[in-house]
């Protein structure tokens, strides 16, 4: 049994500022730092920290030949994530994301995916060949959708559970819904996908039902401080979040997905796994960075036991 994440591996350049500059404006920031990121890599690290060696975690994706690529591979390995399915493209840079964080902790992201765009069906097939019943595949949309579909289809055929984080939103991504056991948009992505605002538990429930009607096996809509709405066969409920003081929301969705996947890999049911994901996301927003913000198993268990930070 394995947890495999197929997706983006990026270096993040983060600027914190009281107010994010608008078009034609220049504003002063208060902090700058870099952090290993990328939705796929973040989710792999989040899962590895929660699983703590109980289930092997592998990353599949593509890096370039620049110095950041070397750092990204080393960071994954240091977190306990296998990189045997992470390739390298000569003459290409790794994915890059520029992230702006305002005084409330909310972020905006512009990314250039670089080597991530070179993930193909052959790489996806090779990475998923060892999956089996009980395994979990985490995918997002920072790599080509064609390769992602190959991986999802192969994982389903092998009896693995497939979790699709439909981020960033893409117009032609609906083809992936029927290949997903679970789709996990945040409220903004859910609104883009169904065409109506998603602001609370009721609208999240409605959006989740639309996503299931479009083929998703189950839909989990993340709602930041409210928690997550879970819609599946026999399940229609809100899993509430925890009372925390957010510093930055970078990586919160990835922490949730990694925690969710880890819970399922441990054999927990969907609600129990979602609770782990919610705790991981809540802890993530209390610290800076992306992969380094992903909480450990002990931290998640302590939060779930105590209920607040």
Q: Is 120 a catalytic residue?
A: no
User: Can you tell me whether residue 22 is helix, strand or coil?
Assistant: coil
SS (H, E, C) 47-113: HHHHHCCCCCEEEEEEECCCHHHHHHHHHHHHCCEEEEEEEECCCCCCEEEEEEECCCCCEEEEEEC
Strands laid side by side in the 10-16 sheet:
31-37, 10-16, 95-101, 107-112
Q: Bin 258: left if φ > 0, else alpha if -120 < ψ < 50, else beta.
A: alpha
Residue 175: closest CA among 152, 201, 202: 152
- CA 192 → CA 157, 188, 189, 195, distances in Å? 29, 6, 5, 5
Catalytic residue (one of 65, 90, 254, 269): 254
CA 95 to CA 136: how far, in whole Å? 24
The contacts of residue 134 (CB under 8 Å, 6+ apart) are: 1, 159, 160, 265, 267
Active-site residues: which are they? 254
């Amino acid at each position: 049994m394995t947890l495999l994440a197929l997706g983006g591996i990026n270096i993040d350049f983060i600027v914190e500022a009281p107010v994010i500059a608008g078009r034609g404006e220049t504003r002063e920031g208060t902090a700058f730092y870099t952090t290993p990121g990328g939705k796929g890599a973040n989710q792999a690290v989040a899962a590895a920290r929660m699983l703590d060696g109980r289930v092997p975690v592998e990353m599949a994706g593509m890096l370039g030949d620049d110095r950041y690529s070397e750092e990204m591979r080393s960071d994954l390995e240091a977190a306990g994530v296998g990189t045997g399915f992470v390739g390298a493209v000569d003459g290409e840079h790794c994915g890059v994301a520029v992230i702006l964080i305002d005084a409330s902790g909310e972020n905006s992201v512009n990314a250039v995916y670089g080597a991530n765009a070179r993930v193909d069906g052959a790489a996806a097939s090779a990475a998923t060949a060892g999956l089996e019943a009980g395994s979990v595949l985490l995918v997002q949309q920072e790599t080509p959708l064609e390769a992602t579909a190959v991986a999802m289809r192969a994982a389903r055929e092998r009896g693995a559970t497939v979790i699709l984080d439909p981020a960033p939103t893409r117009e032609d991504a609906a083809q992936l819904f029927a290949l997903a056991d679970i789709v996990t948009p945040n409220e903004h992505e859910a609104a883009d996908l169904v065409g109506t605002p998603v602001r609370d538990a009721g609208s999240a429930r409605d959006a989740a039902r639309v996503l299931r009607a479009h083929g998703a096996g189950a839909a989990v809509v993340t709602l930041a401080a409210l928690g997550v709405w879970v819609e599946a066969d026999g399940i229609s409920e809100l899993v509430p979040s925890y009372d925390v003081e957010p510093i930055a929301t970078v990586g919160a969705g990835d922490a949730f997905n990694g925690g969710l996947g880890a819970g399922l890999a441990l054999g927990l049911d969907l609600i129990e796994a979602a609770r782990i994901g919610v705790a991981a996301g809540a802890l993530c927003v209390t610290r800076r960075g992306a992969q380094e913000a992903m909480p450990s198993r002990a931290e998640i268990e302590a939060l779930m036991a105590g209920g607040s930070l």
